[in-house]
């Protein structure tokens, strides 16, 4: 059964855990930043090795957005450190973000990350016991969950999309707009439905009405 506390807009569950960068309290670690928490079935798995390499490669992009990233796997710290060496070698990166050692699956359970072998057609977890699915959570500085994604074990995650969502969330938190399909920074935005035409004329000079419920604008 899904954890109702993980709905968008709810407070992200807090926890204390050991990581490759030492023990952390999750909410304290987030501080005044945004955070991306993303999980993996196990260390030394092929798809996840490419994913962690890509996140390390995007470190500067996350930093520009005041965003911390943290991984999770159910293996121990010794395995994590060995895996990081492989990740760095395979991807030509220097991975610096922490990875949670969740051997008791406490965090995976708290965040409803556990699946079963029946949902793993690639048979990564041959033992058949519940394993940690590949989930993503974006959490804002108020510790509120703003996005959740769960990917199948066979499909690598698109972290450019995570960056895009961060850009959209941070924009729409500060401007009275929403973002259309496939939006990228610099593209037209949608005037928020709660903004009257009179307000829009002031806030978004030159906005255009496509339909009464769809108004587009270029941000100045």
**Boundaries of every domain in the chain:** 4-157, 175-217
Q: Which of 4-13, 113-122, 176-185 has the lowest mean pLDDT?
A: 113-122
pLDDT at 44: 95
Residue 171, number of CB atoms within 10 A of its CB: 16
User: What is the CATH number that goes with domain 4-157?
Assistant: 3.40.30.10
Please list the active-site residues: 48
pLDDT at 130: 55
Q: Which of 50-64, 83-97, 118-132 has the lowest mean pLDDT?
A: 118-132
Decide if pLDDT at 125 tops 50.
no
Q: Are the CB atoms for 76 and 110 separated by under 8 Å?
A: no
Terminal CA-CA length for the chain: 46
pLDDT digits (tens, 9 = 90+) for 29-58: 999 999 999 999 889 999 999 999 999 999
pLDDT at 106: 94
**Helix residue spans in 18-158 (DSSP H):** 26-30, 46-57, 59-64, 77-91, 106-110
Domain spanning 175-217, CATH class = alpha beta
Q: Which element (helix H / strand E) includes 177?
A: strand 177-178
Give this prediction's pTM.
0.91
């Amino acid at each position: 059964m899904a954890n109702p506390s993980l709905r968008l807009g709810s407070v992200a569950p807090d926890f204390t855990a050991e990581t490759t960068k030492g023990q952390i309290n999750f909410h304290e670690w987030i501080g005044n930043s945004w955070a991306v928490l993303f999980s993996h079935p196990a260390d030394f798995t092929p798809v996840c090795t490419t994913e962690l390499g890509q996140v390390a490669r995007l470190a500067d992009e996350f930093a520009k957005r005041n965003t911390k990233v943290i991984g999770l796997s159910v293996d121990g710290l010794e395995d994590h450190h060995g895996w990081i060496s492989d990740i760095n070698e395979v991807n030509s990166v220097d991975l610096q973000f922490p990875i949670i050692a969740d051997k008791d699956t406490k965090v995976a359970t708290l965040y409803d990350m556990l699946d079963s072998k029946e949902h793993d057609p690639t048979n990564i977890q041959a033992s058949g016991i519940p394993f940690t699915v590949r989930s993503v959570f974006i959490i804002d500085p108020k510790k509120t969950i703003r996005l959740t994604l769960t990917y199948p074990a066979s499909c690598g995650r698109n972290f450019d999309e995570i960056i895009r969502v961060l850009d959209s969330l941070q924009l729409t938190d500060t401007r009275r707009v929403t973002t259309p399909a496939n939006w990228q920074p610099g593209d037209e935005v949608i005037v928020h439905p709660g903004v009257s035409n009179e307000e829009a004329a002031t806030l978004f000079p030159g906005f255009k009405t496509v339909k009464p419920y769809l108004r587009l604008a270029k941000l100045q």
